[in-house]
Amino acid sequence: MTHTLSQSHASDSRIAATTRLGQQIWLDTLSRELIESGALADWINDHAVAGLTSNPAIFHQALSKDPAYATAITAARAIESNPEVRFETVVLPDIQAACDLFRPLWDATNGAQGYVSFEVSPRLAHDAAGTIDAAVRLWRTIDRPNAMIKIPATSEGCAAVTEVIGRGINVNVTLIFSQEQLQAVQAAYEAGLRRWVAHCLQAGTPERIADVASVASVFVSRTDSTVDPLLPPSLQGKTAIALCKMAYEQWQNDQQGAIADLLAQGAKPQWLLWASTSVKNPAYRDTLYVDELIGIDTVNTVPDATLAAFRDHGKVALTLDQDLQAAHEQLDAVSALGIDLEQVGNKLQAAGLAQFETAYADLLKLV
């Protein structure tokens, strides 16, 4: 993905140092104040933050606390009766502005960095056709090559991912909590990518093969929060990291196997992204899910409080491919206790979808 740092003057930053090791740090928040105050530009220029993600919960917080939205909301209400359209009318200019701030980085890295994610309505999580329509509409409306459309990793979402990737649209596949869910997402991306590559070759535009980018967003902290109460103290706080290490090990193998022919033609791999990386257990180090998941060609999307903590005292070292034997042993020990991590993952995905639907419903009340 990247092995060089575009912002050389950020050499004293832990975040920039992580980028130099090959992992992108993305900011997991967005508001108009973040953009207009210059704070986002500072994160990019001073610390080499390389992308940004958003979701309904993030926008609910922004619209409820940032007075900069009041005028836009009033104007949207005057011209649009549909609350979903009003919401998009209010916030998509922020997505576009963030894309524009990251665009020089996207250009300088040939599309390896500099992406901004916006999610389709959570109400479409089990509607493949609706998700495809929404993704195409949002892609055209945002009209930025470094935008990513977020689609949840449900079975219907995966079907939409294949279609949308096949049309040349960047996708952030979100709410992944288990190995089986991740494998389904990766299979959906590969199928879509094969369609896209075939389209480019048939159209005589092989140079466009590299235009499509995707990340698979694996949620981290909620796994430990769910599983830890079922484990002895010696096994607590280790399961989520072990799952990520196994995912990365398999991802590296896939680069040499399942999608090697596509990569050879210039396609981008679907990068692993670690999400939900703030710790939920106050007994754990506040940078645990950043420190322990640093790996080449990966992304960590970090809430601002956790990012500030990592900037202050995080540990910068390649850790994701270390202690793999211990990671295997951790998952074996969890399984030996009768804990089905696939079942846990399915429950967590359902809970995550419900949380986003609630946040979205509350969000629409604000506009």
Is 347 tagged catalytic? no
Residue 11's alpha-carbon distances to 25, 39, 88, 106, 352, in angstroms, are 15, 19, 37, 20, 37
Tell whether the torsion through CA atoms of 341, 342, 343 and 349 is positive or negative: positive
Assess contact for 294 and 320: CB atoms under 8 A.
yes
Q: Which single residue is written with the structure tokens 């060609």? A: 297
Closest by alpha carbon to 140, among 173, 118, 163, 169?
A: 169
3-state SS assignment for residue 272: strand
Q: Which single residue is written with the structure tokens 């680069």? A: 255
Assess contact for 54 and 31: CB atoms under 8 A.
no
Assess contact for 30 and 59: CB atoms under 8 A.
yes
Closest by alpha carbon to 277, among 32, 7, 10, 18?
A: 18
Residues in the chain: 367
Question: What is the CB neighbour count within 10 angstroms for residue 247?
Answer: 22
Q: Considering 65, 150, 238, 280, which one is annotated as catalytic?
A: 150
Query: Rounded distance, CA 282 to CA 150, Å?
Result: 30
Q: Which single residue is written with the structure tokens 């997991």? A: 28
Residues marked active site are found at: 150
